[in-house]
């Protein structure tokens, strides 16, 4: 292994809390990365805003505690996100993972986990933020698309960018074909970003996140990865 000065190599186990609203394939990629030993972390809770989320089944299968919290059961957004933060803190969560959590995180959560919340977005930010990033890319006619892992701030997909992967966008792509190509990269870069974090290799200054060590580590543009 290449050694970088100033890094802690015997880093401790990182405690994760995951928020997901749906299918949970990114959640699964993180579970798999932990089980394979790629990630030295544990997931102590899955919180979902949707009682029908398939992510809940995945949690059950892997003995991860799950909690369903619906915004409508709370008086307002602030109380909802304060409650989520309470649940996470109670379990000692150090890093919060938004894995297909289809809501804009509230300030009550962001303030308590500043630069400790990661989100994955299916586009090369700052292009195509918000919903349906892949469809936006197809409709616009870009030739390269991809995905981004970033820290969450108060904006919509505006926080410091940690890592991006690029894929080709072909003229005959549909939202579905492009989404599928991007998703394969999502499943690689999300666990990778968490690993960088767990090794203390991400520093944030203002709106920029930097990766210590290898300047190539924050981008995946290897054509063999993108060509699927």
17 near ligand GRF, judged by CB under 6 A? no
User: Considering the complex, what minimum distance in angstroms separates the CB of residue 102 from ligand GRF?
Assistant: 7
Residue number with the shortest CB distance to ligand GRF?
A: 100
100 near ligand GRF, judged by CB under 6 A? yes
Over its C-alpha atoms, the chain yields an Rg (Å, rounded) of 17
Distance CA 174, CA 221 (A): 22
121 flagged as catalytic: yes
120 near ligand GRF, judged by CB under 6 A? yes
Q: Which stretch binds ligand GRF (CB under 6 A): 43-51, 81-89, 115-123, 163-171?
A: 115-123
Quick one: which of 24, 106, 146, 191 contacts ligand GRF (CB under 6 A)?
Answer: 24
Catalytic residue, from 83, 121, 150, 187: name it. Answer: 121
The size of the interface with ligand GRF (CB under 6 A), counted in residues, is 13
CB 212 within 8 A of CB 201: yes
Distance CA 54, CA 11 (A): 32
25 near ligand GRF, judged by CB under 6 A? yes
22 near ligand GRF, judged by CB under 6 A? yes
Q: Is 54 exposed, middle or buried (0-12, 13-18, 19+ CB in 10 A)?
A: middle
Kindly provide the residue ranges of all beta strands, DSSP E only, lying in the chain, ordered along the sequence. Answer: 14-19, 41-48, 66-68, 95-98, 117-121, 144-151, 161-168, 202-205, 208-211, 219-220
Which residues, numbered 31-90, are part of the site for ligand GRF (CB under 6 A)?
none
Q: Which stretch binds ligand GRF (CB under 6 A): 36-44, 59-67, 117-125, 160-168?
A: 117-125
23 near ligand GRF, judged by CB under 6 A? yes
Quick one: which of 43, 44, 106, 122 contacts ligand GRF (CB under 6 A)?
Answer: 122
59: DSSP letter: H
185 near ligand GRF, judged by CB under 6 A? no
159 near ligand GRF, judged by CB under 6 A? no
CB 119 within 8 A of CB 164: no
Question: In angstroms, how far is CA 149 from the centroid of its own chain?
Answer: 6
Distance CA 92, CA 5 (A): 29
146 near ligand GRF, judged by CB under 6 A? no
Distance CA 182, CA 134 (A): 8
User: Considering the complex, what minimum distance in angstroms separates the CB of residue 208 from ligand GRF?
Assistant: 22
Q: 188: helix, coil or strand?
A: helix
Chain residues that interact with ligand GRF, rule: CB under 6 A: 20, 22-26, 99-100, 120-122, 183, 186
* Catalytic residue numbers, as ranges: 121
């Amino acid at each position: 292994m290449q050694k970088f000065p100033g890094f802690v190599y015997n880093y401790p186990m990182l405690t994760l809390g995951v928020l997901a609203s749906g299918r949970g394939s990114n959640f699964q990629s993180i579970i798999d990365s932990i089980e394979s030993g790629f990630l030295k972390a544990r997931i102590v809770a899955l919180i979902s805003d949707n009682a029908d989320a398939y992510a809940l089944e995945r949690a059950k299968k892997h003995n991860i505690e799950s909690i369903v919290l619906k915004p409508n059961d709370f008086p307002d957004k602030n109380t909802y996100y304060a409650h989520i933060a309470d649940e996470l803190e109670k379990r000692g969560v150090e890093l919060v993972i938004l894995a297909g959590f289809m809501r804009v995180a509230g300030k009550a959560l962001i303030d308590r986990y500043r630069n400790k919340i990661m989100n994955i977005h299916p586009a090369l930010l700052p292009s195509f933020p918000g919903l349906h990033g892949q469809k936006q890319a197809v409709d616009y006619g870009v030739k390269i698309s991809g995905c981004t892992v970033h820290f969450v701030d108060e904006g919509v997909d505006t926080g410091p960018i940690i890592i991006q992967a690029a894929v080709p966008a072909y003229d005959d792509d549909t939202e579905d074909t492009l989404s599928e190509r991007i998703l394969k990269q999502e499943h690689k870069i999300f666990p990778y970003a968490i690993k960088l974090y767990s090794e203390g290799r991400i520093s944030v200054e203002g709106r920029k996140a930097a990766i210590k060590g290898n300047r190539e580590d924050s981008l995946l543009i290897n054509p063999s990865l993108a060509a699927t």
